Amino acid sequence: MTDELTPAKSGNRYRIEALAKGLDVLRLFDESVTSLKLREICDRTGIPMPTAFRVVATLEESGFVERLPDGAIQPGVAVLTLGSAALRGSSIVQMSEQPLRHLAEETAETVNLGVLIGDQVLYLARLRNSDLVTANIQVGSTLPAAYTSMGKLLLAYLSPDELAAALAGHDFARDAGPNAAATLKELGERLATIREQGYALQDEEVAAGLRSVSVPVFGRNPSQPAAAINIAVAASRHDLASLRGPLLGRLRQTADDISRRLRSA
């Protein structure tokens, strides 16, 4: 049991190390990693095999992971229940629902709400236009922040140290569209422009055929966005000038509406 009582490296005296290890295991799973063998879990987390075995067994008992016939581990139904409850209870999702629906109806385009989680943007709300040619993105999906309009926008508001920490593990050669930034330096130049203009464009950086424009949503802190919203379009229907024009104007109105709701909540 010694490993579970190891003093926290973070300096938080209230930290429960065994719980932290369990959360580290759950964080391994995403859209691209849906199952892992126990050895892979050990390799990716650095958790010793005996401890990883106990952590997985505990998560399995509670329904947070399931064991496949070949012995691999995958997320269980209990994780979905928690995620669904978190989204339903999120004030920003609740406050954004009506303005985003109006925006989707007025523009007939896909609209999204997202937040920054490390080097990923997490989709909290998505109203999709069926004509949009894109990957199977849905609520709970994540995409590399460095390539998305919402992700770039939120990265642009980070301090240099925060930005370096957020992108420490980002691989610029992975999952990139044809116009994505290829280096941290190139991305930094794009973020500087975004900070100056107050909005972010995505021009086939996520995938060919897809463009979007994003603006920040602010809560009680007027200098740090609580989230970002965007309008995503097919490149065949809208050029960049179109995104900078009426669509950006309507998007900003919606962001202002959501921001007012958050501040008065």
Residue 40 structural domain: 2-81
Which of 52, 81, 110 delimits the end of a domain?
81
pLDDT for 249 beyond 70: yes
Same domain? For 100 and 122 the reply is: yes
pLDDT for 2 beyond 70: no
Same domain? For 152 and 251 the reply is: yes
pLDDT for 224 beyond 60: yes
Q: State residue 142's pLDDT score.
A: 86
Same domain? For 166 and 36 the reply is: no
Model confidence band, residue 101 (pLDDT cutoffs 50, 70, 90) = very high
pLDDT in tens, 174-212: 878 999 999 999 999 999 999 999 999 999 999 899 999
Same domain? For 95 and 191 the reply is: yes
Give the mean pLDDT of the chain: 87
pLDDT for 12 beyond 50: yes
The number of domains in the chain is: 2
pTM of the model: 0.71
pLDDT for 83 beyond 70: no
Same domain? For 61 and 133 the reply is: no
Same domain? For 163 and 201 the reply is: yes
Same domain? For 58 and 108 the reply is: no
Q: State residue 132's pLDDT score.
A: 59
Which of 81, 103, 133 delimits the end of a domain?
81
Q: What tokens appear for 164 in the block? A: 């370096």
Lowest mean pLDDT among 47-51, 55-59, 77-81: 77-81
Give the residue from 118, 126, 82 showing the smallest Cα distance to 229. Answer: 126
Give the residue from 127, 118, 81 showing the smallest Cα distance to 232. Answer: 127
Lowest mean pLDDT among 24-33, 127-136, 194-203: 127-136
- Helices assigned H by DSSP within 28-90: 38-45, 49-61, 77-89
Q: Helix, strand or coil for residue 204?
A: coil
Looking at the chain, the whole-number percentage of residues with pLDDT higher than 90 is: 58
Q: State residue 6's pLDDT score.
A: 43
Same domain? For 21 and 63 the reply is: yes
Which of 43, 60, 81 delimits the end of a domain?
81
For 33-182, where are the E strands, in sequence order?
65-67, 73-75, 110-117, 120-127, 142-144
Q: What tokens appear for 148 in the block? A: 């998305």
pLDDT in tens, 57-79: 999 998 889 999 899 999 887 77
Q: Which residues of 108-127 are buried (b: 16+ CB within 10 A; e: fewer)?
A: ebbbbbbbbeebbbbbbbbe
pLDDT for 134 beyond 60: no
CATH number at residue 49: 1.10.10.10
Same domain? For 54 and 133 the reply is: no
Same domain? For 166 and 65 the reply is: no
Same domain? For 139 and 255 the reply is: yes
What is d(CA 19, CA 10) in angstroms, rounded to the nearest whole number? 14
CATH number at residue 129: 3.30.450.40
Secondary structure percentages of the chain, helix, strand, coil, to 5: 45, 20, 35
Same domain? For 69 and 118 the reply is: no
pLDDT for 228 beyond 70: yes
